[in-house]
Structure formats: C-alpha cells, structure tokens
C-alpha cells in the first residue's frame, strides 16, 4: 500500500532524527511505529498499562495513550 502524508516541521524533524539514529528509511520507521501503536492499543484494550521502567531507580513512567481512549473496543477485537 502506498501512503502519502504531510508532516509539520516538528514531525519532519522527529522523523529525520529517527532515521538518523536508527539507520532506517521512512517506510521502515513508519511501519515500526504502526506496529508499536498496534501493540500499545492492544495492551490498553486488555487493561494493561504501557510503561518504561527505570530499574536502577525502581520507578516507571506510563505512556499516555490518549489515542486508545477513544477507540471503539469493537474495532479492536481482532487486534
């Protein structure tokens, strides 16, 4: 599938940074981002939190996944 998107300056800079840090092309960065979003929405659907843990400090930061809050659960049944 071919997808054409328009990015504002901030998103364009973020995309450039991700390409530079990972060595991935645009298509791969977007595909991986879609996979992560798919996984995160599925975790929220299953009433799990998505978080980053700092093992040395024994703290975590939860991902604020506003996009998943408004998703109709019936649309996610197959995810």
Mean pLDDT of 23-31: 94
Q: Given its phi and psi angles, is residue 23 left (phi above 0), alpha (psi -120 to 50 degrees) or beta?
A: left
Give the pLDDT confidence score for residue 17 in this predicted structure.
95
Which H or E element spans position 59?
Answer: strand 59-62
pLDDT at residue 56 above 70?
Answer: yes
Q: What is the pTM of this model?
A: 0.69
Read off the pLDDT of residues 46-55 as tens digits, 9 standing for 90 and up. Answer: 888 899 999 9
Give 11: exposed, middle or buried? Use CB within 10 Å, 0-12, 13-18, 19+: exposed
Q: Smallest Cα–Cα separation from 27: which of 9, 3, 45, 8? A: 3
Q: Given its phi and psi angles, is residue 64 left (phi above 0), alpha (psi -120 to 50 degrees) or beta?
A: beta
């Amino acid at each position: 599938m071919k997808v054409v998107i328009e990015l504002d300056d901030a998103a364009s800079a973020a995309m450039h940074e991700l390409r530079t840090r990972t060595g991935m092309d645009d298509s791969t960065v977007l595909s991986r981002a879609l996979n992560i979003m798919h996984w995160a929405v599925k975790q929220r659907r299953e009433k799990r939190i998505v978080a980053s843990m700092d093992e040395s400090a024994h703290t975590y930061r939860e991902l604020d996944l506003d996009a998943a809050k408004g998703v109709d659960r019936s649309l996610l049944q197959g995810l």
